[in-house]
Every structure is written in C-alpha cells, then in structure tokens.
Chain A
Amino acid sequence: QITLKESGPTLVKSTQTLTLTCTFSGFSLSTSGVGVGWIRQPPGKALEWLALIYWDDDKRYSPSLKSRLTITKDTSRNQVVLTMTNMDPVDTATYYCAHMGSYFDFWGQGTLVTVSS
C-alpha cells in the first residue's frame, strides 16, 4: 500500500531555510504520470498547495511562494525534498506531502513546523 511520511525540524527561526523530506513507499516516482506534492495548513486555517514534482522531473510551484520554494526528488531513495527560504512566523503550519496520480489520493500524516521570531 502507498504510504508517505514527512520529516524535518519542528522549530525554525525567522529568516532560516526550512528543509522537509517526504519518504514514501508503495509507488515509484519514476512511473509515468506519478507526482508528489506539498500542501500546508496553518493552525485553524485552510489547506494551501505549495509545490509538485512529477515523474519526469517537471516541477510546479505556487506563484505566491515560487521565489522561496525548491522541490527535488531522489527516485532511488523514494524521497522528495522541499526547501523554503526566508521563513517567517506566518509560515507556521502543518506541512503535508501527498501522492498524486491524477489527484492527491494518499497523504502523509503531516509535520508541524513552528517559526519563531
């Protein structure tokens, strides 16, 4: 079965760079049509799509955050890494990674990242 799990720091300081890793199993990111995305959710607020990487290394970003985001994949290790630069307290959120065939059908449990000033 498909599983995903996010890992990374739980606390970062303002202006620092956040690096999150999504480790997955049950599928390959070299399979045509497959993607892995990142979505975040500030406490008590709605979901926000951040970035997506496809099997062919096509990368897509939220326009509002594009200058701060980088998404990469390591197919051999079944991992996707998201980096976000210049973190701010407003970036405090639970960060999820999700498998995408045609839509986000399998999600990780999420990891809460708190940004301190």
Chain B
Amino acid sequence: DIQMTQSPSSLSASVGDRVTITCQASQGVRNYLNWYQQKPGKAPKLLIYDASNLETGVPSRFSGSGSGTDFTFTISSLQPEDIATYYCQQYDILPFAFGPGTKVNIK
C-alpha cells in the first residue's frame, strides 16, 4: 500500500502570509493527487485535483504542484477563513490513501 506523509503536522501563520504544505507518497502516484480542506465538524472539501488543478469556485490563492512522489500545496495569502485541516490524497493506486493532515491556525 502507498503511504502518504505530510509536513508540517500543524502551523501557525499571520493573515496575509504565504503558507506551504508538503505531501510525499511512498511510491510514485504520477499526478493523481488531491488536496482537501476540512473545517471542524464539516465534510472535506476538494480544493485541488490532479496535483495542480483548482476545483471550480475555489479561490485562486490556493495552488498545488508536483508529480511522482513529492507535492506542494500553497496558500499565497492566508485568510481567516482558511483555518482548517488540509489533507492530501492519492488516487492512482488502490487502496486510496489520505495523508495525516496539516492543521493551519492563525498566529
């Protein structure tokens, strides 16, 4: 099975800061990598699909990059409403696997 790791596990940043989260797969998943945002008590929301494609309606301050085993998720200017936990997920090879999550807080 493919294992997904994320770093950091949590971070605190100021409003307007650039925030970067990394995700690593234990073996190559091509570009079949998604990023989800989950706010407390809510279902995950798809932000980025196929590593770098912005889901419809998602603000352009969110972006993703990478392929193979190493991926990056970026919030270009952190906003108060971005407080959430972010998960990466590979869907190249079953079983689909999620990363452990990165909790983003406002400093």
Contacts and interface: CB of A to CB of B under 8 A. Distances in A.
Interface of A: 37, 39, 46-49, 52, 60-63, 96, 102-105, 107-110
Interface residues of B, number: 23
B97 interface: yes
Nearest to B97: A49
A60 to B, nearest CB: 5
Contacts, number: 55
Interface of B: 1, 34, 36, 38, 42-46, 49-50, 55, 87, 89, 91, 94-101
Contact of B43 (A62, A63, A107): A107
B1 A63 contact: yes
11 contacts: A47-B36, A49-B89, A96-B43, A102-B50, A102-B91, A103-B34, A103-B46, A104-B44, A105-B49, A107-B45, A109-B42
Contacts of B95: 49, 60-63
